[in-house]
Amino acid sequence: MSFVQVVFLGAIAGFTIYLGLPVGRIKGVSQNVRSFLSMTSAGILIFLLFDIFHKLSEPIEGALMEATTKHTSLGEFASLLAIFVIGLGVGLIGLIAFERRFIRFRAPANQVLSPVRLALLIAAGLGLHNFSEGLAIGQSAGRGEVAFAAILIVGFGLHNATEGFGIVGPLVGEEERPSWGFLGLAGLIGGGPTFLGTIVGYFFTSTPMFVLFLSLAAGALIYVIGELFHVSRRPGVKFQVGWGLLAGFIFAYLTELVLTVAGV
């Protein structure tokens, strides 16, 4: 598989995120349904957060087991652990700083984030995660593991299609529908990094970089999930919130099962 083919297929895997974005233009939805859909988005992100921590633990625990069973230096484990802690902190605190500086700069400090601004933050958090997915695709293809790279492309493409809905969940039913231009920008922020990660990963294989971008994504998603709960905290919608979380989590889990069956 040539570099051009890998990059092209990596772009497809990333931009399947656009398949779920048009849902955000639906109007005439009740407050209860909007709360349900917003929490469905949160459920998807919560599952994704668990998935990220699972992937993060593999290289870190592997380095620890290597050091303890073979009595080698703890240097690699310590460095990966430090990268994880720093990345998680930067992803969480950095997104807060970004949101205050560039997103809330025209709003009062105590004002709840608007659905449009929240959607942009979700897209940013998913973009960090998708960069790491692109790295995995590019690294597999760069090592000559063409079949595995192809499976990753198909699997991540399916997974990213669900992430598109995760971005626009808070926007469904708003009086002013998001423009196609806004949806295009959100898709570029969320899906474009898969394309960029594929390019970087093809030429540069690095476990520390993989851990860094996953931990950045984890920190960002922790903040975004908290904001989703804050926005949806309204009287009389607890059942809608609970059912939405359940539906989003199960939906994401079923998607993961499809990837498992495919061998990803």
Is the pTM higher than 0.75?
no
The total of structural domains in the chain comes to: 1
Question: Which residues constitute the domain of residue 131?
Answer: 3-262
What is the model's pLDDT at position 127?
Answer: 84
6 burial via Cβ count (<10 Å: 0-12, 13-18, 19+): buried
Cβ(83)–Cβ(96) below 8 Å: no
Nearest to 17 by CA among 48, 61, 39, 46: 48
CA gyration radius for the chain?
Answer: 19
Contacts of residue 36, Cβ cutoff 8 Å, sequence gap at least 6: 240, 241, 243, 244, 247
Torsion 14-260-36-49 (CA) sign: negative
pLDDT digits (tens), the chain, 264 positions: 678 888 888 888 888 888 878 877 777 667 677 778 778 878 888 888 888 888 888 889 999 998 888 877 788 899 999 999 998 988 888 777 766 765 554 545 555 567 788 888 888 878 877 887 788 788 777 767 666 677 667 767 766 777 787 788 777 766 677 888 988 999 999 889 888 888 888 888 778 888 888 888 788 788 778 877 776 666 677 788 888 889 888 988 887 787 677 655
pLDDT digits (tens, 9 = 90+) for 71-105: 777 888 999 999 999 989 888 887 777 667 655 54
pLDDT at 105: 47
CB atoms within 10 A of CB 152: 27
Cα–Cα distances in angstroms (integers) from residue 251 to residues 57, 165, 221, 246, in the given order? 24, 11, 18, 8
DSSP 4-69: HHHHHHHHHHHHGGGGTGGGGG-----HHHHHHHHHHHHHHHHHHHHHHHHHHHHHHHHHHHHHHH
The secondary structure element, H or E, covering residue 226 is helix 207-231
